[in-house]
Amino acid sequence: MDLDITILVIGLNHKTAPVEIREKLAFKNSSLHPLEKLKKEVSSFKEGLFLSTCNRVEFYFILERNQKNRFLTDFFSFIENESSFKWKDLEPHFYFLENEKAIKHLFEVACGLDSLVIGEPQILGQVKSAYKEALNYRTSGIVLNRLLHKCFSVAKKVRTETGIGGGAVSISYAAYRLAKKILGSLKDKVVLLVGAGEMAELACMHFVSEGVKKVLIANRTLSKAVELAEKFRGEAYSLDELLNALIKADIVISSTGAPNCIITKNMIASVLKPRKYKPLFVIDIAVPRDVDPEVNNLENVYLYDIDDLKSVVEKNLKEREKEATRAKTIIEAEVLKFQKWLKELGFYPTLRALNEKAEKLRQKELAKTFKKLKNLSEEEKEAIEILTRSLIQKLLYYPINFIKKSYHEEGKYAISLIRQIFELDEPFKEISDEDLNVLSCEIDKDIPSDSQNDSSKNFNSKKVLIQ
């Protein structure tokens, strides 16, 4: 059966767009979360999720199938309004993935197969944060909820059953390897980390394990810098003291979430003389970038941004390629399972309507019975509740099983038949005793006489009992 929805991924990453474009679409300058803005400005989507990392900006949408063209028109206008680019200039950098390809892409992203550093574990945490934001802004519904939970279980399975996460490989590790490649031994070097987030902490771990002379941490919130400095026996600075820290440093790793550059050409130029013009290596792993690209024009100052890390990362890929192949096999199987669930979404409204109608009838009949049998104890009432609920479940087993068995072969016919038989598309109405008596008489005509007498006695005795 064809899906009535489209799962759509629209995104760009380190493979399709340079950092100058990715940073313009990271939404760091916006006072509103992109999901909040999308809800106000683009109404033609059912569910949505926004994922922004150092290496990618991606939107995941659930659309009504017939709304796709209208949605894309609105979305392109939204992107133009939020960036300084025209859509025709951005379009070559974007990828569009639908349904099966979209599901597979999300699973590969969460498992680290689509990362700059293959198998990096940080991306899973970023996907989880993106999902929390979608829940917070109420843009995640039945499909995205199921898809994201499946995504997390797939990532866990891949980590457990393959060696894709083996070795300390991440963007922070790549920055550390680049510094080591440039300077050789780091034992007499002072490292300045600008930013005290997860990236900075990971970088700290790598540099401290190499035995650097000292670690300096500068951060907008001084308390966070102090906390990280205490953990690694370093020195803490506020961003107001950044010049003092730059004078002492040999290597600068910057990874803040600032919307604009915090390390300017003039700032670096002003510390060159106090540093006695010693070489300064600056590695900017932030998106948007923290360091003005003009810094690279200063004498004895060497600037590398996140795209420059690719050459370091490529050396680590061979170790994980075999494990990535195994991971992709697991992902393929899980994509098929999710697609099966997705196809079955078509009959869930019918199952729900069937259960709701049966429950309404049960509750109304119970109310009439309890009203007539006023002397029932609570235990007896509970026993009747259990009996009627069990009876309803067993009777509904047959139509539900019919739908599930016939769904993939008969498609909409199975759904239509059940909806007609149980009048699920009609306003709810009680079945009158007169209708039941007429139906009973019609049934009795087709029953042999001996059975008919027994049946009539049973029916009448039950009717008397109820009255």
Rounded to whole angstroms, how far apart are CA atoms 343 and 336?
11
Instruction: Please list, in sequence order, all residues whose beta carbon lies within 8 angstroms of the beta carbon of residue 253, skipping any fewer than 6 positions away.
Output: 172, 175, 179, 191, 192, 193, 194, 200, 203, 283, 285
The DSSP secondary structure of 191-249, one letter per residue, reads EEEE--SHHHHHHHHHHHHTT-SEEEEEESSHHHHHHHHHHTT-EEEEGGGHHHHHHH-
Neighbours of 280 (CB within 10 A): 22
Laid out side by side, the sheet with 251-254 consists of 235-238, 214-219, 190-194, 251-254, 280-284, 301-305
DSSP letter assigned to residue 32:
S
Residue 51 CB burial class (10 angstroms; 0-12, 13-18, ≥19): buried
Q: Is the bond leading into 288 cis (omega within 30 degrees of zero)?
A: yes
Amino acid identity, position 140: S
Task: Identify the H or E element spanning 389.
Answer: helix 378-410
SS3 readout for 328-382: HHHHHHHHHHHHHHHHHHHHHHHHHHHHHHHHHHHHHHHHHHHHHCCCCCHHHHH
Cβ(118)–Cβ(20) under 8 Å?
no
Rounded to whole angstroms, how far apart are CA atoms 367 and 360?
11
Task: Identify the H or E element spanning 413.
Answer: helix 412-421
SS3 assignment, position 131: helix
Cα angle at 226 between 225 and 228, to 5 degrees? 65
The CA-atom distances, in angstroms, between 409 and each of 1, 6, 428 are 9, 22, 30
Amino acid identity, position 367: A
Report strand pairing: 214-219 vs 190-194: parallel
111 noted as active-site residue: no
In the chain, the N- to C-terminal Cα span, in Å, equals 48
Report strand pairing: 214-219 vs 56-64: unpaired
Structure tokens belonging to residue 243: 């010049």
The CA-atom distances, in angstroms, between 29 and each of 25, 237, 260, 285, 392 are 10, 25, 8, 18, 57
Rounded to whole angstroms, how far apart are CA atoms 384 and 373?
12
Q: Which residues are catalytic?
A: 54
